[in-house]
Structure 1
Amino acid sequence: MTALRYMGWLTGFSVFTAFVSIIWQAFLSLQALNRTTVLLTGLLAIEGSLKRSAQEPAPKVAIGYGACTDLQINATEFLERYYSRRIPVVTTGSREIVSNEDELLQSFAYYFQNGAAAERVMANSTLFKQLVGYAKVMDKERINWYMGGNAPLMAVRFFMEGAEVLLGAHMSKKLRPLLPKEIRLAGDEIANDDIHLILEYKAGDTWGSYVAPRANRYILHSDRNNPHLRAVEQLTDALKVYHPQLLVVSGLQMMDMFTFNPGEREARLQQVQRQLTSQPADTLNHFEMASYVELQLLQQLRHFVLPYVDSLGMNEQELSNLQQVLSHGRTTLATDWNPRIAHTLDQMRQVFISLLEDYGQRSSSDPRRRRISRIHVHTLAYQAILTTASSKWKNTRAAAAKAALTAHRYVCKSQFINPEAVLQVLDDSFATSTQSDAPRMRIGAASPVPCWREYIEYGRQHQRLEVEICVAPVLVCREARKTAGAGDNISASGLAAQL
């Protein structure tokens, strides 16, 4: 009887413990849902403040260069179907150019296991056509064709945000109808568009022993039109009468060395430089970063492009890469897919200081150079925008909120944001720097998008420049639907809010 009584007591205690655990989990879930709802309400309220009056003219934006057709497929299904027996044991992401199947699989596995976005050129055009053929064989429901290219995607987003848009790109008859007819096109019609193969994967997807920590994509291309930036001259001519408030340069990652004869790439980048320097002082110039791996190209961009722009846009991988190039003259591979805000802000400051010091050393010998005044970094969990306090950029807080909401809507492929379908990755507060005495900012109902001002010191004479920094939390999709093109849409929405 004693044993039975003891077992009964133990069973009862177990049931009670399970009941308390269920109640506790429900309480925690309710708390998380309440916090998400509060943040969403705050972000939407800030976004609502951006509405333009009927009398206010639409901002004018020009953007180049290039366009393509994106063929999006499920990465793991594609690889399981065609390469299930060739899963690499050793991975490498260091290759600038992918030449064969083994290099492709090694490179993909490296970035897949790190959850990092990557874009690589396939030098073997025959193999690339074979891979596209493989993708086309897959069930039609499992592949999707989209208009691609940084410039067209940003152009469409600018148009959706109410801007008047001029796009410098070549397009075929098949691709042009996908672009809103209101967007002006400076570029010739071509017979066939370049194709980009987009290998998309979700958080938790597996391939052999590899597991993706977050949703992302691996992009493969073998372009013949885009690397040469053939629309530069036509866009330059159109700009003479268009007079935009903002000129955006993007798509330069297509300029892989193997495509060009000696000296040809530098000549094309000089054309981009002339386009940037020919803009009047009241036109803001922005450069959209991408997945660069070739150090020589990055050094050329540092010489021909970076000194002549007011603004930069990039993700956490591209920020780390740029910081390493500016500070140490080297590139990086995949970095932390979810970096601490403090770490990202410190890297943004380092990039900002490097560009300010470069401007200070050379502006007297080249008056066409511009002093950087804006950096926007978009990550899975947050948006961070830094602007100089005295610049033309406005609405920094609202721009960060807008970018955060655009990130969710685009990746989830839904305009409606359901608080129950999102993850809140950030904590309630964060440090503004990795330095031990750095102040902390809180994220909550009173401040869904924390902003603050600080002074950044640079140069041998210890000059100080006041900046404003805003950080907005992203309501992360529990199930990502599309990541390719997210950065372009996020960056363009933030820029549109600041014009």
Structure 2
Amino acid sequence: MGRTLVLGLGGTVDYEVRWDARVIGSLAARFGIRRRELTTTAPIVDERSLVVTILAFVVDGAGGERFVASSDVVKRFADRFTTEITLGGTGVRAGIALDRLGIPSVQHLVSMDDHVRRLMPPSISWVSSAAEDTLDPHLIVQYPAGTVIRFDDGEIVSPSSNRLIFANDPPNRRMAISPELGEALTDAGAFLVSGFNTMQDEILLERRLTDLDAALVQLPADALLYYEDAGFYVRRFARRIWAHLLPRIDVYGMNEDELQEYVDRPVDLLDASDVAAALLAVQRLIPVPALLVHTQHWAIAVGPAAARHRTALTSAVQMAATRFRLGDAFTAADFEATALLPRSARGEDVVAGVERKIAGSVGVPAFRIDTAMPTTIGLGDSFVGGFLVVHAPVREPQP
């Protein structure tokens, strides 16, 4: 407690496009896309297949992350929109959220370029495995609830807002571990591990996990290890992670998309019985001290050590809600103001129901926030940053 926060394993440069339903609709018409061909599972090999995938997510109001055959597809699509360049990756966005509260962190990065040097907050230092500068941007598409896309054969309307990520990022696929990581961990109070989900070479993954095992020898025994699932490109690779890290993981986090992938069925997030059944099923699959699922309605932790994380869970939900309503441009005062907002009544019902059904579980309902311009990008990352606030270095009072 109260020592350095080390966050990893890979950062990204994100191209955040400003949603424009007219541009999307014109692309659908130009490419002759029909509603019946919408799918989230087909390979994304060109701009047409990218638009097909985006529309398939929009029709369900779902979020997700997908691999693209070439970064050129990402760049070409982004050029059609007003685009903001930001920094991403779970560790980096968590660190940016912590920075807004004046909390420093150390990042482990696998790629580097001038955008990273320019945009990284001064409170964040880093170790990096990058041997040279590279730029392989991640496309971030954020769409609002009620957006309408018209086709030649009809239209679709999104039932909710969500975010999508598309990328071809060789440094993050390689996920080289810096030899400096072990030294950075020697004084860590908490270590965030995320990013292995983008790897696609099983032999290389095993090597990286072995490298991480070696670095973890220097992590203090009482330090918190938080693992964020983040949605595997190759689902079976998760078991490789578990074989190496489950004995050391204290908190294993995921969102509702990943929860539903693990149980292999839709989960009614507003039905306490259905949620409890899904949580128990994943807990049996991933037996960690605290399994944590965060959604737009609630965040709930189950497992033998779940109860000790109630304060961190409260802070995490508060941080995600602050980003949802204000984006990155928030202050410590804004963070505190969020705590005064009303809670989701339906989220409260689910939390109460799950806490009755699963002994030792703890939950926090989401806030009820009405905003015309919500930020759905990076909410899970900000959630993780909020969770780690309680493990932050103790700051000396200013004279």
* TM-score above 0.5: yes
Distance 1:91 1:423 in 2: 37
Distance 2:326 2:21 in 1: 21
- Match in the other structure for 1:22: none
Q: 1:310 is aligned with what amino acid?
A: D
TM-score normalised by the chain length of structure 2: 0.82
Distance 1:153 1:428 in 2: 25
- Match in the other structure for 1:133: 76
Question: What are structure 1's unaligned runs of at least 5 residues?
Answer: 1-56, 325-330, 357-371, 433-438, 442-450, 456-466
Distance 1:389 1:236 in 2: 26
Aligned residue runs from structure 1 range 324-339, under 5 A = 324=263, 335=266, 338-339=269-270
Question: What are structure 2's unaligned runs of at least 5 residues?
Answer: 393-399
- Match in the other structure for 1:426: 345
1:214: how far off?
1.0
Residue 476 of structure 1 aligns to a residue whose secondary structure is coil
Q: Give 2:282's match in structure 1, choosing from 347, 351, 359.
A: 351
For residues 495 and 264 of structure 1, do their structure 2 counterparts lie closer, same or farther at Cα, with a shift above 3 Å needed?
Answer: same
Higher relative contact order (CA 8 A, sep 6+): 2
- Match in the other structure for 1:53: none
Aligned residue runs from structure 1 range 39-50, under 5 A = none
Q: 1:82 is aligned with what amino acid?
A: L
Distance 1:336 1:182 in 2: 39
For residues 116 and 286 of structure 1, do their structure 2 counterparts lie closer, same or farther at Cα, with a shift above 3 Å needed?
Answer: same
Distance 1:302 1:114 in 2: 31
Residue 158 of structure 1 aligns to a residue whose secondary structure is helix
Q: 2:387 is aligned with what amino acid?
A: G
- Match in the other structure for 1:195: 137
Work out whether residues 383 and 474 of structure 1, in 8 Å CA contact, stay in contact via their aligned partners in 2.
no
Work out whether residues 11 and 89 of structure 2, in 8 Å CA contact, stay in contact via their aligned partners in 1.
yes
Work out whether residues 25 and 149 of structure 2, in 8 Å CA contact, stay in contact via their aligned partners in 1.
yes
Distance 1:297 1:389 in 2: 26
- Match in the other structure for 1:36: none
For residues 207 and 282 of structure 1, do their structure 2 counterparts lie closer, same or farther at Cα, with a shift above 3 Å needed?
Answer: same
Residue 115 of structure 2 aligns to a residue whose secondary structure is coil
Q: Give 1:300's match in structure 2, choosing from 240, 243, 248.
A: 240
Residue 37 of structure 2 aligns to a residue whose secondary structure is coil
Residue 98 of structure 1 aligns to a residue whose secondary structure is coil
- Match in the other structure for 1:223: 169
1:380: how far off?
1.1
Residue 135 of structure 2 aligns to a residue whose secondary structure is coil
Work out whether residues 307 and 355 of structure 1, in 8 Å CA contact, stay in contact via their aligned partners in 2.
no
Q: Does 1:84 align with 2:45?
A: no
For residues 492 and 131 of structure 1, do their structure 2 counterparts lie closer, same or farther at Cα, with a shift above 3 Å needed?
Answer: closer
- Match in the other structure for 2:312: 399
Q: Give 1:184's match in structure 2, choosing from 122, 125, 130.
A: 125
Q: Give 1:497's match in structure 2, choosing from 387, 390, 396.
A: 390
Q: Give 2:55's match in structure 1, choosing from 79, 100, 109.
A: 109
1:146: how far off?
0.9
1:176: how far off?
1.8
1:78: how far off?
4.1
Distance 1:473 1:302 in 2: 29
Q: 1:92 is aligned with what amino acid?
A: T
Aligned length: 375
Distance 1:234 1:276 in 2: 12
Work out whether residues 115 and 213 of structure 1, in 8 Å CA contact, stay in contact via their aligned partners in 2.
yes
- Match in the other structure for 2:231: 291
Q: Does 1:99 align with 2:69?
A: no
Distance 1:295 1:151 in 2: 21
Q: Does 1:156 align with 2:103?
A: no
Identity within the alignment, %:
21
1:401: how far off?
2.9
- Match in the other structure for 1:33: none
For residues 273 and 207 of structure 1, do their structure 2 counterparts lie closer, same or farther at Cα, with a shift above 3 Å needed?
Answer: farther
Residue 175 of structure 1 aligns to a residue whose secondary structure is helix
1:193: how far off?
2.9
1:498: how far off?
5.9
Work out whether residues 276 and 285 of structure 1, in 8 Å CA contact, stay in contact via their aligned partners in 2.
no
- Match in the other structure for 1:379: 295
For residues 318 and 269 of structure 1, do their structure 2 counterparts lie closer, same or farther at Cα, with a shift above 3 Å needed?
Answer: same
1:280: how far off?
3.3
